[in-house]
Structure 1
Amino acid sequence: MCSVLPFEFSEKVSVVPLSDEMWPQGDQMYNVPCVAAGWGRHEMGGKLATHLQKLDVTARHGEDGCVCDLPFQNKRLVCISGKAGKGLCAGDSGSVLVCNKKAVGVAHIIYLEEACNPFRIRMPKLSCKQSLSAFMYICPFLDWIRKHVPDVPGTPISCNGCKISSSLVKVVVLNILLKFQAINIYLS
Structure 2
Amino acid sequence: MFFYSFLFLLVTSLADGMESGIIGGKEAKPHSRPYMASIQCRNHHTCGGMLIREDFVLTAAHCLNYNVNDQVHLEVVLGAHNLTKVEKSQQRIPVMKLIQHPRFKKNNEHDYSYDIMLLKLKKKAKLNKYVKVMPLPKKSGKTPANVKCSIAGWGSKTASGKRASDVLREVGLKLQFSFECKNKWQQYFDSERMICSASDGKHAFCWGDSGSPLICNTKAQGIASYTIDSSCTSTKYPQSYVKISYFLPWIKENIA
Whose radius of gyration is greater, 1 or 2?
Answer: 1
The amino acid across from 1:6 in the alignment is K
Match of 1:30 among 131, 145, 157: 145
Write out aligned runs for 1:66-145 (5 A): 67-70=183-186, 73-83=190-200, 85-111=202-228, 126-130=230-234, 132-145=238-251
Secondary structure at the aligned position of 2:142 is classed as coil
Is the aligned partner of 1:146 residue 2:252? yes
What is the number of equivalent residue pairs in this alignment? 133
Is the aligned partner of 1:7 residue 2:138? no
**Structure having greater relative contact order (Cα 8 Å, sep ≥ 6):** 2
Deviations 1:120-161 (A, max 9, x none): xxxxxx2233363110111111111111123xxxxxxxxxxx
Using the TM superposition, give the Cα deviation of residue 64 of structure 1 relative to its aligned residue in structure 2, in angstroms: 2.9
Is the 1:64–1:74 Cα contact (8 Å) retained in structure 2? Answer: no
Q: Please give the alpha-carbon distance, in whole angstroms, between the structure 2 residues aligned to 1:93 and 1:69.
A: 19
Higher helix share: 1
Deviations 1:14-67 (A, max 9, x none): 21112125224xxxx221121112223222342122222221211135333455
Q: Please give the alpha-carbon distance, in whole angstroms, between the structure 1 residues aligned to 2:202 and 2:180.
A: 23
The amino acid across from 1:36 in the alignment is I
Deviations 1:106-127 (A, max 9, x none): 1000117xxxxxxxxxxxxx22
Write out aligned runs for 1:40-51 (5 A): 40-46=155-161, 47-51=163-167
TM superposition score normalised by structure 1: 0.59
% identical equivalent positions: 27
- Give the gaps of 5 or more residues in structure 1: 113-125, 151-188
TM superposition score normalised by structure 2: 0.45
Is the 1:82–1:88 Cα contact (8 Å) retained in structure 2? Answer: no
Single out whichever of 45-54 and 5-14 deviates more from structure 2.
5-14
Q: Please give the alpha-carbon distance, in whole angstroms, between the structure 1 residues aligned to 2:140 and 2:246.
A: 11
- Give the gaps of 5 or more residues in structure 2: 1-71, 74-93, 95-121
Secondary structure at the aligned position of 2:233 is classed as helix
Higher strand share: 2
Q: Please give the alpha-carbon distance, in whole angstroms, between the structure 1 residues aligned to 2:148 and 2:182.
A: 16
Q: Please give the alpha-carbon distance, in whole angstroms, between the structure 2 residues aligned to 1:22 and 1:133.
A: 20
Give the aligned partner of residue 39 of structure 2. Answer: none
